Chain A
Amino acid sequence: MSGLIKSSIARKVVMALSGLFLVIFLVLHVTINFASVIAPEFFNEASHFMGYNPLVQYLMQPILIIGVIVHFVMGFVLEIQNRNARGVGYVKYKGSANAPWVSRNMIYSGLVILAFLGLHFYDFWIHEMTYKYIQANPEDPTRYYAETVEKFAPFWRTIIYIVSFVLLSLHLWHGFSSSFQSMGVNNKYTPAIKTFTKLFAVVVPLAFAFIALYHHLNPITH
Chain B
Amino acid sequence: MKLYLKIWRQKNASTKGQMVDYTLNGVESDMSFLEMLDILNEELISKGEEPVEFDHDCREGICGTCSLMINGRPHGPDSMITVCQLHMRSFNDGDEIVIEPWRAKAFPVIKDLIVDRTAFDRIQQAGGYISVNTSGRPVDANAIPIEKDMADKSFNAATCIGCGACVAACKNASAMLFTSAKVSQFALLPQGQVEAAERVENMVRQMDLEGFGNCTNTGACEIECPKGISLENIARMNREYLFASVKG
Contact = CB atoms under 8 A, between A and B. Distances in A.
Interface of A: 1, 3-4, 6-13, 78, 81-82, 84-95, 97-100, 103-104, 106, 174, 178, 181-186
Interface in B139-167: none
B219 A90 contact: no
B106 interface: yes
B114 interface: no
Contacts of B248: 1
Contacts of B239: 183-185
B218 to A, nearest CB: 4
A8, A78, A81: which has the most chain B beta carbons within 10 Å?
A: A8
Given A3-B245, A9-B242, A98-B223, A86 B236 contact: no
Given A3-B201, A98-B219, A88 B103 contact: yes
Contacts of B176: 8
A87 to B, nearest CB: 4
A183 B242 contact: yes
Contacts of B232: 186
Contacts of A11: 214
B69 interface: yes
Interface stretch (B35-43, B48-56, B59-67, B205-213): B205-213
Contact of B214 (A4, A12, A93): A12
Main secondary structure of the interface of A (DSSP, over half): helix
Contacts of A185: 235, 239
Nearest to B213: A85
A16 B103 CA distance: 27
Nearest to B167: A85
B216 A178 contact: yes
B126 interface: no
B213 A86 contact: yes
Contacts of A87: 103-105, 108, 173
Nearest to B224: A98
- Rank and list the top 7 A-B pairs by shortest CB-CB distance, nearest first: A184-B239, A85-B213, A94-B72, A186-B235, A82-B172, A99-B218, A98-B223
B76 to A, nearest CB: 11
A103 B242 contact: no
A7 B103 contact: no
B205, B211, B237, B245: which has the most chain A beta carbons within 10 Å?
A: B245
Interface in B210-248: 211-220, 223-224, 231-232, 234-242, 245-246, 248
Contacts of B236: 184, 186
